[in-house]
Each structure stands twice: as structure tokens, then as C-alpha cells.
Amino acid sequence: MACVRQHPAFVDRVQAFSAQLCAGVFRTCFFLEKTGRRWGKLHPRWRGEMKGRTSRNPGKLFMKRDTPAPWKQWGDNLEEGAVEQMRNACLLPIAMIGALMPDAHQGYGLPIGGVLATRGAVIPYAVGMDIACRMKLSVLDLPVSSLKDQQERLKRAILEETSFGVGATFRKRKQHPVMDDSWSITRITESLKDKAWSQLGTSGSGNHFVEFGELVLERDELGLKAGVYLALLSHSGSRGSGNEVATHYSRIAQLLRPELPKEMRNLAWLELGSEEGEGYWSAMELMGRYAAANHELIHRAIATNLGVAVLLDVENHHNFAWKEAHAGEDVVVHRKGATPAAAGVVGVIPGSMATAGYVVRGKGNPASLSSASHGAGRRMSRKAAKEKCSWSEASVFLAKRGVTLISGGLDEVPMAYKDIEAVMAAQSDLVEIVARFNPKLVKMAPGGGAEG
């Protein structure tokens, strides 16, 4: 059988035809839906927002940049998959500049630890599936000796005031002004209000946690004298509602960008100013307020349970998109597993269930888009951790550091994570260390797993 060499022009025509075909099928689906004749099955929530819509560029051949937008990485020996994902993101025509943090590992679309500035567009998958996943630290007016002397009291406060696990809810709904916000801004957020309310104040699963520990201040900082304090630290996001918003708009973006090659499908974007883009942005910001409310309720409830005052709060998102100005240009900065680190901005970078976390102050490094890592970063996948790690090994690790684990998954043991000290050293030009947090009493979902 003869071998036929494919001429580049021929390949281009085939790709263009494929894009036209996809766009044509896409238009036909919505035409039939609009006229009442059904062909195939569309997600019910698309029918209101997407009825009659077509690709923004029907039949247009996807054009990568000739060379990637400039980007820089921090840290050595990063996963090749994460580096490749960053490179692909910087080939997008909307990309301006990117950065890869030292805790980076492979994700969907933009890698975890990836930062990307785009012009006039937002990428749902570059924000992440857990929109507004965030940190909050509260310094409590309790002696640090309470970590040992009153451990059962502290443990009971966590168990009584929040809930862990996929789909965790409260029978009696918590109250917060965020539920008085306009959830009808999009059809999907309107449909999720009841679910969101039932999960308000819960912590979820995976790497989410609530823990007590020691906060060590080497010098007077943040309105506190140098010393060792008892602090409460939490990590969680917008729960199942944020996941559904992310899934919904990611699918819409992919339908509107049928010309994207397979390896870039999860980088499909929505144009700001379009109905879809503005809808996503409004929903994302609502999920941000909702996630902040979750943390506020958890910290307030635990402090009230213990009957103590809060001396200091520090908090930040690390899965979000912001409208910012960089290099004299207005852009959208996506931080997917990255901490905002503009000059003087204070944030929290955790380690693992038995290694230190840090309160940091940003240095505003323009090369990183004023960003830093969001944690230590995974050294191995969840599956690999379950296969290679053991509870006997983890128990020894925890005991050496004086950590009591209330519950947690084997996929979250310290051995599954990178060395936080090496990560912090690799980003000394991005943040300065303000305080060190040593976890002592840790609560996570029993089985680990992904958030839902």
C-alpha cells in the first residue's frame, strides 16, 4: 500500500473543515432546541443561557502564538506535565504573561501553581474546579499551652462547629448575609442556592482542613508582640456549588471553542463583555464571597464555642481570577493554586498536616505577576500516595512533630507532599516570611478524595 505524505496545506484545510463541521453541528443542536425539535441531549441549564448561540469563531482555524508568551518558573525539577501545561497556556492568542510556582504539579488546563494573565478573556479551568479555594488564619486569645492542656476541648469545638466529607451539609442552616446576595445573577447560581445554603459552614474533603497550632512571631508583626500564639487555620473553598459553576462554564467555553486542539481543550476561554463571560465572572465572584463566608462562619463558631476573642485574622483566595494592571495593561490574572503576593499584601501558605505553614508578605515581583505558591505542593498523586505510603510511617512522622490527627486520608499524609522549606527557599524573591505556623491538632475528611 502506497504511503501518502500529507502536505501542510492539506492538513490546514482538513483542520479548518473539522472546525467548520463542529461549529455547524453546534449551531444545528441549538437551532433544533430553539424550534422545539430535539436532537441529542443538552445539559438542562444550558438551554436558558445558550439557546441559539454559536461559536464566536465558527469555522476559524485555531491560531497558536508563534512563540509562547513570556513565562518564568520558580523551583527545580518541576513535573514535566506541569511545565508542558504552562507552555500550552502561554501559546494561547489571549495570553500575555505566565508564571509557574515552586509547588506546581499537573492539573487540568492550567497546572496547579500556574499563574496566567490574559487579555479580554477568562478561562474557567484556569481558575479551577474549586472556585475561591482559600486560607484563613485566626489568632485566638487562649494560652498556647491549651494545645496540650485542653486538647479535648479544642477537638470538640472543631467537631461540633463544622462538617467534613463530600456533600457534607448541616440539617439546620447557618445564617450569613451572603445568602441575601442576588443568587439569580445566572440561572446556574439560582439553581444552586439551596445546595449552597445547606453546605454553608462545612469544610468538604480532599486537602481541606481545620486545625489548631502554634503561630510563632520572631518579631512584632501585624499588631502583635513577638511570641508564640494559639491559632486556628482552615483551608476550603466554595464546596459543591463552586464545582458545579466551574463545570457548567467550562463546558460552555469548550462548546464555544470547538477549534481548540485536544491538549488545549481545558484552556477554552470566555470573552469578557460576552454574556457567557460576564455570567461566569459574576458567578465566580459570588462563589468567592460564599467561600469567604464559609471560613468566617467556621472561625466565628469555633471562637464562640471556646468563649474566646479573636486577636488577628489573615485570609486569601488561591483559586481565583482578578482584574489587574500589569506592565501598564489591564489584564485578567488567573491564579490556580497561587497566593496573591503584591507588595505588602499578607497571605497564608500552608505545608501539610505535620509540616509548617507560613504567614507571608508579598514583594510584588512583576515576573510572577505578584504571586507565590499556595502550599508545599504534591510530590505524588493521590493514587500513588495510597499505594506507597502507610499509616504506620505517617504515625511516626506525626508523633515526632507532636501532631494529633483527628482524621484524614492516606492520600494526605506528609510524605505525599514536597518539602515546604525548599519551596519557601525557592520563592524568597516573591514573599518574606512574617510568621511560622506549626500544626498540632488536625481535622480532615476521613477518606481524602476529591471535593464535591
How does DSSP assign 193-247, residue by residue? HHHHHHHTT--BSTT-EEEEEEEEESS-BTTB-SEEEEEEEEEE-SHHHHHHHHH
| CA gap 94, 271 in Å, rounded | 10
**pLDDT tens by residue, 275-304:** 999 999 999 999 999 999 999 999 999 999
Give the model's pLDDT for residue 62.
65
In tens, the pLDDT along 216-251 reads 999 999 999 999 999 999 999 999 999 999 999 999
CA 217 vs CA 146, 221, 328, 395, 434: distances in Å? 18, 7, 37, 28, 7
Q: What is the pLDDT of residue 228?
A: 99
**Of the ranges 54-68, 127-141, 367-381, 407-421, which one carries the lowest mean pLDDT score?**
54-68
Res 167: pLDDT: 80
User: CA-CA-CA-CA torsion for 318, 403, 199, 291, nearest 10 degrees?
Assistant: -20
Which of 2-16, 170-184, 245-259 has the weakest average pLDDT? 2-16
Residue tagged 477537638 (cell numbers): 155
Q: How many residues make up the chain in this entry?
A: 452
Q: What is the per-residue pLDDT for 165?
A: 85
pLDDT tens digits, residue range 127-180? 999 999 999 999 999 999 999 999 999 999 999 999 998 888 888 899 999 999
Q: Is the pLDDT of residue 6 over 70?
A: no
* pLDDT number for residue 17: 46
Asked whether residue 19 carries a pLDDT value surpassing 60, the answer given is no
Question: Positive or negative, the Cα torsion across 175, 178, 182, 188?
Answer: negative
Confidence of residue 97 (pLDDT cuts 50, 70, 90): very high
pLDDT of 35 above 90? no
Residue 36, all three cell numbers? 422545539
Name the residues annotated as catalytic. Answer: 374
Q: Is the pLDDT of residue 59 over 60?
A: no
Residue 373 has pLDDT above 90, yes or no: yes
pLDDT at res. 63: 75
- Specify the DSSP element, H or E, that contains 393: helix 391-400
- What would the grid cell of residue 87 be? 507552555
| Matching residue, cell 515546604 | 420
Residues 366-383 have a mean pLDDT of: 97
pLDDT tens digits, 384-417: 999 999 999 999 999 999 999 999 999 999 999 9
Match 512583576 to its residue by C-alpha cell.
366
Radius of gyration of the chain (CA): 23
Write the pLDDT tens digit of every residue in 296-328: 999 999 999 999 999 999 999 999 999 999 999
Per-residue pLDDT at 449 exceeds 60: no
Q: How many CB atoms lie within 10 A of CB 83?
A: 16
Q: How far apart are CA 382 and CA 2, in angstroms?
A: 47
388 phi/psi in degrees, rounded to 5: -100, -25
Mean pLDDT taken over the chain: 89
**pLDDT more than 90, % of the chain:** 81
Is a pLDDT exceeding 60 seen at residue 60? no
pLDDT higher than 80, residue 335:
yes
For the segment 345-369, the average pLDDT, to the nearest whole number, is 98
Quote the pTM value. 0.87
- Using the predicted structure, report yes or no on whether residue 8 has a pLDDT greater than 70: no
pLDDT at residue 446 in the model:
86
Pairwise pLDDT comparison (17 vs 447), residue with the higher score: 447
Q: What does the angle CA 127 – CA 128 – CA 130 come to, to the nearest 5 degrees? A: 120
Distance CA 11, CA 196 (A): 48
Task: Tell me the C-alpha distance between 81 and 359, whole Å.
Answer: 29
* pLDDT higher than threshold 90 for residue 433: yes
The C-alpha atoms of residue 4 and residue 12 are separated, in whole angstroms, by 16
Query: Which cell goes with 82?
Result: 506541569
pLDDT tier for residue 27 given thresholds of 50, 70 and 90: very low
What pLDDT does 61 receive? 54
Of 36, 127, 33, 130, the closest CA to residue 89 belongs to 127
| pLDDT value of position 46 | 53
* Whole-angstrom distance, CA of residue 255 vs CA of residue 276: 11
At residue 53, the pLDDT reads: 52
Determine contact, residues 338/82, Cβ cutoff 8 Å.
Answer: no
Angle at 359 between CA 305 and CA 315, to 5 degrees: 55
In this prediction, residue 169 carries a pLDDT of: 86
Residues 6+ apart with CB under 8 A from 290: 132, 178, 196, 200, 238, 239, 241, 242
Beta-strand relationship, 319-326 and 329-336? antiparallel
Q: By mean pLDDT, which of 63-67, 69-73, 84-88, 278-282 is the weakest?
A: 63-67
